[in-house]
């Protein structure tokens, strides 16, 4: 892609309305644009990143056997009246009337909708477990939308739902998602810590939030530092190993605000291991048993001939919020340098030829290099403008493409100036550069 033809509306300075670095950068490099309070249009750069995050989330859901569906954004109020949440949800729910005066709503979450789908089709324990998910826009009429897409009113969520025959089986499903979330965030190059959390309007009594540390986060957390040293290399989905893995995390005190108990914290965590800080909630999982299945009559026949309500859980990842969360974790705002993890970078590599009116040989060279990159499925952004070198580099550092090739007038021979953002320049052949990037891509 040529930079001159791309839709990347870069601003000279940070917009004053943005208070945190992700919001600043997203506006600065034109990743998104506000349409109205808490509602955004996604422009090419931001959209590419979000779609890559979505794809990683999807792959990890598929790996644990969850099946993808797509439920609508607009739901009927009937099912919410059945579950009892139509009134409870309050003003956060955007309520709409259609031309027949029927009460509809823009879905803030989909527990009711998915329970309705389940109960109308599945009747036997033989069909269980079922893990269903979708990736769809949600709307919550937040009283204080802020920090750009971090707390939006319209936002993109992956939400999954599990249906099981017993509590024991349901915990197995819960643990599968627990592990899958650790893997997902790792692929996004984030350290997300599971923390015991409150269930709020979703309900139930078992819940974990997945939180990444950030001063600007909205969740206050209380934790035993040692949880950060844990690493999960589990590849198996065995019941026992999954349970052990969750226990491994749960051995360390780690809770959000609502679950905090000072006496307990001070009793179980030694002073040097105590960490009280802030974080961003990027995922949240819940187990609520038969809360919805009972209220909405979603039951299955059991082996002995009896019937029982299915046991359910729900599992959310804030896909659009993750774009901002990765920026909060990776952007060095003092030096104005962003480095996207290659797994979600808007482009794999930037080509920066030094060009002036009389001499476009460096640009020609960049275009030739790009032909080889395309053959190797490497997506590049070519700065074909005539700006001076330092402003070109400054701009590329903000956009955050992780690798750069700098092509000077004097660049001759086979070796190219290759740079990974934040590291020293190396002289490498194009073949070697392609190999390096491909290797890095495959490792994710
Ligand atoms: C779990 C899936 C639920 O809604 N029902 C279906 C459950 N959980 S949740 O915690 O309320 O939301 C899941 C994740 O969505 C992100 N999120 C948001 N992102 C941007 N703007 C918002 N206003 C917003 N609200 C929630 C969070 O990442 C959250 O963990």
CA of 316 to the centre of ligand 1 (A): 6
* 207 φ, ψ (degrees, to nearest 5): -160, 145
Q: What is the pLDDT of residue 423?
A: 92
pLDDT tens digits, 35-59: 999 999 999 999 999 999 999 999 9
Same domain, 55 and 199: yes
Three-state SS at 113: helix
284 lines ligand 1 (CB under 6 A): yes
Q: What region, left, alpha or beta, does residue 101 occupy, with left being phi > 0 and alpha being psi -120 to 50 degrees?
A: left
Same domain, 324 and 352: no
Same domain, 246 and 361: no
Q: Pick the closest to residue 253 from 274, 282, 280 (CA basis).
A: 274
Same domain, 369 and 314: no
| Least confident span in 195-209, 253-267, 384-398 | 195-209
State the alpha helices, DSSP H only, in 2-76.
21-28, 44-63
Q: Does some domain include residue 418? A: yes
Q: Does some domain include residue 2? A: no
Q: What is the pLDDT of residue 234?
A: 60
Q: Does some domain include residue 14? A: no
| Residue finishing a domain among 332, 357, 379 | 332
Residue 419: give the domain boundaries.
Answer: 347-442
Q: Hunting for tokens 């779609």 — which residue is that?
A: 51
Q: Does some domain include residue 341? A: no
Q: Pick the closest to residue 94 from 102, 106, 78 (CA basis).
A: 106
Q: What angle in degrees, to the nearest 10, is found between the helix axes of 319-330 and 44-63?
A: 110
Q: Pick the closest to residue 441 from 350, 341, 338, 339 (CA basis).
A: 341
Residue 404 sits in a domain whose CATH number is: 3.40.50.800
CA of 29 to the centre of ligand 1 (A): 26
Q: Residue 281 pairs with which residues in a beta bridge?
A: 211
Q: The tokens of 405 are what?
A: 């090739």
pLDDT tens digits, 54-113: 999 999 999 999 999 999 999 999 999 999 999 999 999 999 999 999 999 999 999 999
| Total structural domains within the chain | 2
341 lines ligand 1 (CB under 6 A): no
Q: What is the pLDDT of residue 25?
A: 97
Q: What is the pLDDT of residue 408?
A: 84
Which residue, by CA, sits nearest to atom 20 of ligand 1?
A: 151
Q: Does some domain include residue 9? A: no
User: Quick one: which H or E segment has residue 317?
Assistant: strand 311-318
155 lines ligand 1 (CB under 6 A): yes
Q: Whole-prediction pTM value?
A: 0.96
> Kindly report the CA angle at 180 between 175 and 182, in degrees rounded to 5?
100
CA distance 77 to 89: 12
Same domain, 172 and 296: yes
Q: Does some domain include residue 212? A: yes
Same domain, 170 and 36: yes
Same domain, 275 and 377: no
CA of 207 to the centre of ligand 1 (A): 13
pLDDT over threshold 60, residue 144: yes
Q: What is the pLDDT of residue 85?
A: 96
Strands (E), 394-439: 403-407, 415-420, 425-429
Closest approach atom of ligand 1 to CA 160: 2
Q: Does some domain include residue 11? A: no
Same domain, 319 and 403: no
CA of 331 to the centre of ligand 1 (A): 23
Same domain, 351 and 326: no
Q: What is the mean pLDDT of residues 362-390?
A: 95
Same domain, 304 and 416: no
Which residue, by CA, sits nearest to atom 22 of ligand 1?
A: 151
pLDDT over threshold 80, residue 233: no
CA distance 81 to 303: 32
Same domain, 326 and 352: no
292 lines ligand 1 (CB under 6 A): no
Same domain, 237 and 133: yes
Q: Does some domain include residue 7? A: no
Q: Pick the closest to residue 196 from 284, 120, 82, 271 (CA basis).
A: 284
């Amino acid at each position: 892609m040529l930079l001159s033809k791309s839709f990347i509306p870069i601003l000279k300075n940070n917009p004053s309305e943005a208070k945190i670095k992700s919001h600043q950068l997203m506006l600065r490099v034109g990743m998104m644009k506000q349409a109205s309070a808490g509602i955004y249009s996604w422009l090419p750069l931001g959209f590419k990143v979000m779609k890559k995050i979505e794809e990683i989330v999807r792959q990890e859901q598929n790996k644990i056997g969850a099946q993808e569906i797509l439920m609508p954004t607009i739901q009927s109020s009937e099912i919410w009246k059945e579950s009892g949440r139509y009134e409870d949800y309050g003003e956060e729910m955007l309520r709409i009337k259609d031309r027949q005066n029927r009460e509809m709503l823009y879905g803030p979450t989909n527990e009711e909708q998915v329970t309705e789908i389940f109960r109308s089709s599945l009747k036997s324990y033989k069909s269980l477990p079922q893990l269903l998910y979708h990736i769809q826009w949600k709307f919550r009429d937040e009283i204080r939308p802020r920090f750009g897409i971090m707390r939006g009113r319209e936002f993109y969520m992956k939400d999954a739902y599990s249906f099981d025959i017993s509590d024991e089986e349901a915990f197995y499903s819960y643990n599968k998602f627990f592990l899958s979330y650790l893997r997902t965030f790792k692929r996004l190059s984030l350290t997300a810590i599971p923390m015991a959390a409150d269930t709020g309007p979703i309900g139930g009594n078992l819940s974990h939030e997945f939180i990444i540390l950030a001063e600007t986060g909205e969740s206050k957390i209380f934790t035993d530092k040692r949880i950060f040293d844990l690493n999960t290399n589990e590849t198996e989905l065995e019941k026992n190993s999954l349970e052990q893995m969750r226990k491994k995390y749960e051995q360390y005190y780690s809770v959000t605000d609502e679950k905090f108990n000072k006496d307990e914290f001070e009793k179980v965590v030694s002073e040097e291991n105590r960490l009280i800080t802030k974080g961003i909630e990027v995922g949240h999982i819940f187990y609520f048993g038969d809360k919805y299945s009972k209220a909405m009559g979603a039951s299955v026949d059991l082996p002995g001939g009896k019937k029982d309500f299915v046991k359910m859980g729900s599992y959310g990842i804030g896909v659009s919020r993750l774009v901002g969360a990765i920026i909060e974790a990776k952007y060095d705002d003092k030096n104005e340098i962003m480095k996207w993890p290659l797994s979600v970078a808007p482009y794999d590599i930037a080509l920066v030829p030094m060009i002036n009116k009389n001499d476009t040989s460096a640009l020609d060279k960049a275009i030739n290099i790009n032909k080889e990159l395309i053959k190797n499925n490497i997506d590049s952004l070519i700065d074909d403008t005539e700006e001076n070198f330092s402003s070109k580099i400054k701009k590329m550092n903000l956009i955050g493409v992780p690798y750069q090739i700098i092509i000077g007038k004097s660049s001759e021979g086979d070796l190219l100036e290759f740079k990974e953002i934040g590291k020293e320049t190396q002289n490498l052949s194009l073949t070697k550069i392609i190999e390096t990037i491909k290797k890095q891509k495959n490792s994710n």
